[in-house]
A and B are shown apart, each in its own frame.
Chain A
Amino acid sequence: MLKHNLLIAIKSLARVKSYALTIIMTLGVTLGVMVAMYNLNYQIIAAPLPYPDQDRLFLVQGQLLADGEVKRENYLPFLGAVEAYKDRHPGIETFALHNISIDVEQSLPNSPTFNTGAITPEYMQIIDAPLALGRQFTKEEGLDSNQPVAIISYDVWQTHFGGSSEVLYRSVTFKGVSFIIVGVTAEHFAEPVLATPTWRTDVWFPYDYRDTPDPLWTFSSNQVHLVGKLAKDANIKRTQLALNNWVMARYPAAVADDPAVANTEVKWRFTTYKSRIIGDAGNTSVMMLAGSVVLLLIALSNIGNLVLSRAVEQQRAFAIQAALGAQPHHLFKLVLVELSLLFAAALIVATGIVSLILGLLKAGYAGPLARLDELSLNLNTVLFAIVLTLVLNFALAWVVSKQLNYNAIIGALQSSGKGSGVQVSKHTRQVLVSMQVFFCISLLVLCVSIFKQSWAQLTAPTQINTKNTSQIALNVGTLLTDMSSEQRATLVLEATERLNQHSDIVRAGVGSYPPISYWLEQFSTYHSQLQPGIDKPVVSHKRVWGTRAYFETFGLRLTQGRHFTDAEARDRAPVVIINEFMAEMIKASGQEPIGAKLYGRNSSVPITVVGIVSNLNLPNQLPISRTYRPRVITGYPIVVVETKPNVQLSRQSINDLLAQVHSQIRVYDLQTTEQILSSHLKSQRVASIFTIVLSMVAVILAGIGIYGVFSYAIALRRYELGIRMSIGATPEAIFKLVLTENMQPFLIAAAAATSALLIGYFSAASAPIMQMMDVWSWLIPVALIASLVVGITLLSAWSIIRQPAQYALKGT
Chain B
Amino acid sequence: MKESVLTMSGVTKVFSTEEMETHALRGIDLTIYRGDFVSICGPSGCGKSTLLSILGLLDMPSSGQYQIEGEEVSQLTLAQSAYIRNEKVGFIFQSFNLIDELTVYDNVALPLRYRKEPMSEKQIKQAVEACLAKVDMSHRASHKPNQLSGGQQQRIAIARALVGKPSMLLVDEPTGNLDSINGDAVMAMLQQLNAEGTTLCMVTHDPRYADMATRQLHLLDGKIIDSEEHSDPKHAFEIPLAQ
Given contacts A804-B60, A805-B58, A806-B58, are A728 and B99 in contact (CB under 8 A)?
no
Which residues from B are CB-within-8-Å of A720?
A: 99, 101
Q: Do residues B58 and A727 form an inter-chain contact, with CB atoms below 8 A?
A: no
Given contacts A805-B58, A806-B53, A809-B58, are A727 and B79 in contact (CB under 8 A)?
no
Q: What is the CA–CA distance of A803 and B59 in the complex, to the nearest angstrom?
A: 8
Q: Do residues A728 and B78 form an inter-chain contact, with CB atoms below 8 A?
A: no
Q: Which residue of B lies closest to A733 (CB)?
A: B114
Which residues from B are CB-within-8-Å of A725?
A: 58, 82
Which residues from A are CB-within-8-Å of B97?
A: 723, 726, 809
Which residues from A are CB-within-8-Å of B81?
A: 804
Q: Do residues B86 and A731 form an inter-chain contact, with CB atoms below 8 A?
A: no
The A708-745 residues at the B interface (CB cut-off 8 A) are 720, 723-733
Q: What is the CA–CA distance of A804 and B85 in the complex, to the nearest angstrom?
A: 12
Given contacts A723-B97, A723-B99, are A728 and B82 in contact (CB under 8 A)?
yes
Q: How far is the CB of B158 from chain A (nearest CB, A)?
A: 13
Q: Do residues B83 and A727 form an inter-chain contact, with CB atoms below 8 A?
A: no
Q: Do residues A804 and B58 form an inter-chain contact, with CB atoms below 8 A?
A: yes
Report if B110 contacts A (CB, 8 A): yes
Which residues from A are CB-within-8-Å of B183?
A: none
Report if B87 contacts A (CB, 8 A): yes
Report if A422 contacts B (CB, 8 A): no
Residue of B56, B78, B99 ringed by the most chain A CB atoms within 10 A: B78
Q: How far is the CB of B122 from chain A (nearest CB, A)?
A: 20
Report if A801 contacts B (CB, 8 A): yes
Contact with A along B81-107 (1 / 0, CB 8 A): 111011100010100011101000000
Q: What is the CA–CA distance of A802 and B160 in the complex, to the nearest angstrom?
A: 25
Given contacts A724-B110, A730-B114, A806-B53, are A801 and B85 in contact (CB under 8 A)?
no
Which residues from A are CB-within-8-Å of B79?
A: 730-732
The A784-812 residues at the B interface (CB cut-off 8 A) are 801-807, 809
Q: What is the CA–CA distance of A280 and B174 in the complex, to the nearest angstrom?
A: 76
Q: How far is the CB of A812 from chain B (nearest CB, A)?
A: 9
Q: What is the CA–CA distance of A730 and B110 in the complex, to the nearest angstrom?
A: 13
Residue of B57, B83, B160, B164 ringed by the most chain A CB atoms within 10 A: B57
Interface of A is mostly: helix
User: How many residues on A have C-beta within 8 angstroms of the other chain's C-beta atoms?
Assistant: 20
Q: What is the CA–CA distance of A731 and B78 in the complex, to the nearest angstrom?
A: 7
Q: Do residues B83 and A730 form an inter-chain contact, with CB atoms below 8 A?
A: yes
Q: Do residues A729 and B59 form an inter-chain contact, with CB atoms below 8 A?
A: no
Q: Do residues B114 and A726 form an inter-chain contact, with CB atoms below 8 A?
A: no
Q: Do residues B111 and A727 form an inter-chain contact, with CB atoms below 8 A?
A: yes
Q: Do residues A728 and B58 form an inter-chain contact, with CB atoms below 8 A?
A: no
Q: How far is the CB of B139 from chain A (nearest CB, A)?
A: 23
Q: Contact check: which of A729, A801, A803 meets B114 at CB < 8 Å?
A: A729
Contact with A along B162-177 (1 / 0, CB 8 A): 0010000000000000
Q: Do residues B85 and A726 form an inter-chain contact, with CB atoms below 8 A?
A: yes
Q: How far is the CB of B176 from chain A (nearest CB, A)?
A: 15
Given contacts A723-B97, A804-B60, are A728 and B53 in contact (CB under 8 A)?
no
Q: Contact check: which of B59, B87, B101 meets A804 at CB < 8 Å?
A: B59
Q: What is the CA–CA distance of A725 and B56 in the complex, to the nearest angstrom?
A: 11
Which residues from B are CB-within-8-Å of A728?
A: 82-83, 85-87, 111, 114-115, 164
Q: Do residues A804 and B78 form an inter-chain contact, with CB atoms below 8 A?
A: yes
Q: What is the CA–CA distance of A801 and B81 in the complex, to the nearest angstrom?
A: 13
Which residues from A are CB-within-8-Å of B93?
A: 726
Q: What is the CA–CA distance of A723 and B160 in the complex, to the nearest angstrom?
A: 12
Which residues from B are CB-within-8-Å of A802?
A: 78
Contact with A along B129-154 (1 / 0, CB 8 A): 00000000000000000000000000
Q: Which residue of A lies closest to B102 (CB)?
A: A720
Residue of A720, A723, A728, A731 ringed by the most chain B CB atoms within 10 A: A728
A residues with CB within 8 A of B: 720, 723-733, 801-807, 809
Subset of 14 A-B contacts with CB under 8 Å: A720-B101, A723-B98, A723-B99, A724-B99, A724-B114, A726-B91, A728-B85, A728-B115, A733-B82, A733-B114, A803-B78, A804-B57, A805-B59, A806-B58
The 6 closest A-B pairs by CB, nearest first: A728-B86, A806-B59, A806-B58, A730-B82, A728-B114, A730-B79
B residues with CB within 8 A of A: 53, 56-60, 78-79, 81-83, 85-87, 91, 93, 97-99, 101, 110-111, 114-115, 160, 164
Given contacts A720-B99, A731-B78, A804-B57, 20 further A-B contacts (CB under 8 A): A723-B97, A724-B110, A725-B82, A726-B56, A727-B111, A728-B82, A728-B83, A728-B86, A730-B78, A730-B82, A730-B83, A730-B114, A731-B79, A732-B79, A733-B82, A804-B59, A804-B78, A804-B81, A805-B58, A806-B53
